[in-house]
Chain A
C-alpha cells in the first residue's frame, strides 16, 4: 500500500515544505468567522426569570466552538499539505478523548467525537489514496459508482428489507415504541415516494405537498365525524378528494415554471392550513378533530376489548389474548402495504409512456412539446396521482392519531418530505428509504440531544449540498435496454429504480 506513494504521491506532496504560517493564518480566519457567528448565536441565551426576560452569557461554549473550528480547519489544511498521517492520529485521539473523558456538556462531547471522526475519516482517505484533494467531478463520479452499485444491489436488498419489515412485529424486540417509530418511518417513506413522483420524475418542485396530506386526513376525519363512514370507505374517498384538490390546484398553476411554480405550491399549502384553522364551524379550527374512529379489521372485527354491537372482537375471532398491541401491529402492516403500493406503482409507471413522458418533461419541456406530448395533461396526472397517495397517507395519519389539528400540517412537514426526496437523490426509490432513516430515524434515535438535533440536521444538509448536490443515491438506470445482458433484448429488462 505504501509502495506507490513513492512514485505517484510522494513527489507531489513532498515537493513543497509545509506552510505552517499560511495554515495557521487560514485556520485563524475560519476561527474568527466562527467567533462572529457564535457570539450572538451560541454565546447569548435568553432565560425566562420571574422578574422578566434576561440574557445569560455562555463564554465557555463560544471558546470551545472557536477552538474546535480552529483545530478542524488547521487539520484540513495540513491534510492538504501531505501531513495526513499525524492529523489522522491526532483526530482519532480527540475523538477518543471526547468519548472517554467526562465533558462539561454533552454538546462538547458530540462535537469532539463527530468533528474528530470526520477529520479522521478525511485523513484516512488521504492516507489511503495518497491524494490530498479530489476534484468535485471526481468525487461525484465516485459517489455515482457507489450509487449505481447500491441501485443494482437493491434487487437483493429490497426483498430482504421488505421481509425484514414484514417480520418485525413478530420479533421479540417489537414493543410499542419500536412499532411506533416503524409506523412513523413508513409514513414518511410513503410520503417521500409519493412526492418523488412529482419532484423526482416529473421535475416539478412542489413545496406544498403537505396540503394533500392534510386534505386526506381531514377528508377521513370529517366524513367519519359527520356521516359516520368507516375507514375502509373513507380511504379511497380521501385519495379521490386529495387527487381532485391536486387537479384543482394544478389547472391554474401548471403553466408556471420553476421557482414560480414552487412559490404557488408553497402558498397553496399554507392556504389549506389557514382554511382549516379559520373554518371553525366545520373543521373545529385550531382545536382540531378528536375521537376519530380507529380502523376495524377490514370491517370484520374491531380491536377493542369490548366491541360495539354487531362487531366481533379481533382477539376473540383469532382466539388470542387481548392485547392493545394488536391494533398497532395492524396499523404497521397497513402503512407498510400502502407504502409498498406507492412503490410498486412508481416502479411500473416508470416503464410506461406516462412515466417516460414525465421524465422527458423533467429533462426538456420544449422538446417534449415538439414530440406531441401534452404537457399540461401529463403534469396534471403526476400532480393528481402524487396527491392521491398523499391523501391515502393523510387518512392513515388521521386514523392512527385519532386526533388531528392544523398544527400537524405546517410548512416544516412539506420541507421535511422534500428534504427526504432531495437528500435521497431525486427519482431514486431506495434513496427515499435511506434518507428517511437519516432524516426521521436519526433525530428519533437522538431525542435526548433536544434542539441540537436540528443543528445536526442543518449541518448534514450543508454537507450533502457540498459533497453530493444531486442527492445521496442519485443514479438513474434506463427503463428499457436494447443490449440487455441477459440476451434477447425483446423484453424490456430495464434497471430497477428502487
Chain B
C-alpha cells in the first residue's frame, strides 16, 4: 500500500533524492540490502530503525563517505540537473551536488570561532571569489564583496539558530545543545539542496529538542536566502521528534527497508512493531508502540 502511495507521489513531483537498490557490503556483512526510497524537496524524510539497522551506513553512502557496493543514488536539483552521488568523490558531493550533513558525534572546528565555522562552510564560493587566494592577497574589491555576502549569510543562520551573541566564541566552548545547532547552521551555510542530519536530537533535553524541531521545520518550509528550498533527510531515535515533524518515514531493520510512508502509517505497520518490540505478540501492540514512541 505504501509503495503504491509513494509511486503516485513520485509521478506527481519529481523527487529530490532517489535511492535505488542500494546495497553496501563490508566483507561478509551486509549493512544495507537492496534499499530503495525517495526523499522530496520541501519535506522532512526520517530514517528510523533499531540499532545496527544500517541507517548511518546509508547516510555515509548518500554523503559520499562510502561508495555503495551496488545501487544508484540520484540527486535532482530544482533546475533539473541530476547528480549521480555514487560516482562522485566525497568533497564534490557537498561542493557540486549540494548535499550537506551533520554528524552523530558533533564535528565542529572547535578551536575556531562560531562565526569562522560558518565562513569556512562557504569555502568554495569564497575560494572562487578570492581567485584561489591571489585576488584575496591583493585585496581586490570583488573578494571583499564576496566576503561581505558570506558574512551576511552567516549572520542570517546565526540568527536562525539563536547563536548571534556567541558569534565570537570558540566553538568548542559552546554548550552541547548550541553545538548541535551550530553544526546545522554550518551545514546550511553551504546552501545545500539536501540536508542530512545524523541524530540531531541525541543528548538534547526536551526544550532543546523542541527548538531543534522548530529549526528543522523552518528549514523545510522557508526558502533559503538564495531562493532554493532544502529537503531534509534525518536519522533519529527520538520518536517524539520524528513523529511530530517528519512528513515521510522510512524504517530499516537489518539493512532492509521494512516500511515506508507517512508517520501514522508507519506507527501502525505490524512489520515496524515486530522490529521494535519482537515477534509473538499481537493484540494490544499498536497502542503499546504508540505509547512507547511517545516516551522514547
Contacts and interface: CB of A to CB of B under 8 A. Distances in A.
Interface of A: 345, 348-349, 352-357, 359-360, 362-364, 366-375, 381, 476, 478-483, 490, 492
B186 A371 contact: yes
B167 A371 contact: no
Contacts of A354: 127, 130, 132-133, 136
B31 interface: no
Closest 9 CB pairs of A and B: A372-B94, A372-B95, A482-B167, A478-B113, A363-B109, A353-B126, A367-B107, A352-B136, A354-B133
Interface string B87-108: 0001111111000110100011
A364 B167 contact: no
B109 A360 contact: yes
B207 interface: no
Contacts of A362: 111
Contacts of A364: 107-110
Given A353-B120, A363-B108, 18 more contacts: A354-B136, A356-B120, A357-B127, A367-B108, A368-B120, A370-B107, A371-B190, A372-B92, A372-B190, A373-B123, A374-B95, A476-B111, A479-B116, A480-B113, A481-B168, A482-B115, A482-B164, A490-B151
Given A478-B112, A478-B116, A479-B116, A371 B137 contact: no
28 contacts: A352-B130, A352-B143, A353-B123, A353-B130, A353-B133, A354-B132, A355-B133, A356-B112, A357-B127, A360-B109, A360-B120, A363-B112, A366-B65, A367-B103, A368-B120, A370-B94, A370-B103, A371-B186, A372-B92, A372-B96, A372-B123, A372-B124, A373-B124, A478-B116, A482-B151, A482-B158, A483-B165, A483-B168
A371 B115 contact: no
B147 interface: yes
Contacts of B137: 345, 348-349, 352
Contacts of B110: 363-364
A384 to B, nearest CB: 12
A373 B190 CA distance: 11
A366 B107 contact: yes
Interface of B: 63, 65, 90-96, 100-101, 103, 107-113, 115-116, 119-124, 126-127, 130, 132-133, 136-137, 143, 147-148, 151, 155, 158, 164-165, 167-168, 186-187, 190
Most chain B CB within 10 A, of A354, A363, A372, A481, is at A372
Contacts of A367: 103, 107-109
A367 B108 CA distance: 7
A371 B123 contact: yes
Nearest to B125: A353
Contact of A371 (B94, B133, B136): B94
A372 B165 CA distance: 27
B127 A371 contact: no
B91 A374 contact: yes
Contact of B91 (A345, A359, A369, A482): A369
A381 B130 CA distance: 15
Contact of B167 (A360, A483, A490, A492): A483
B12 to A, nearest CB: 31
Contacts of B107: 364, 366-367, 370
Contacts of A483: 165, 167-168
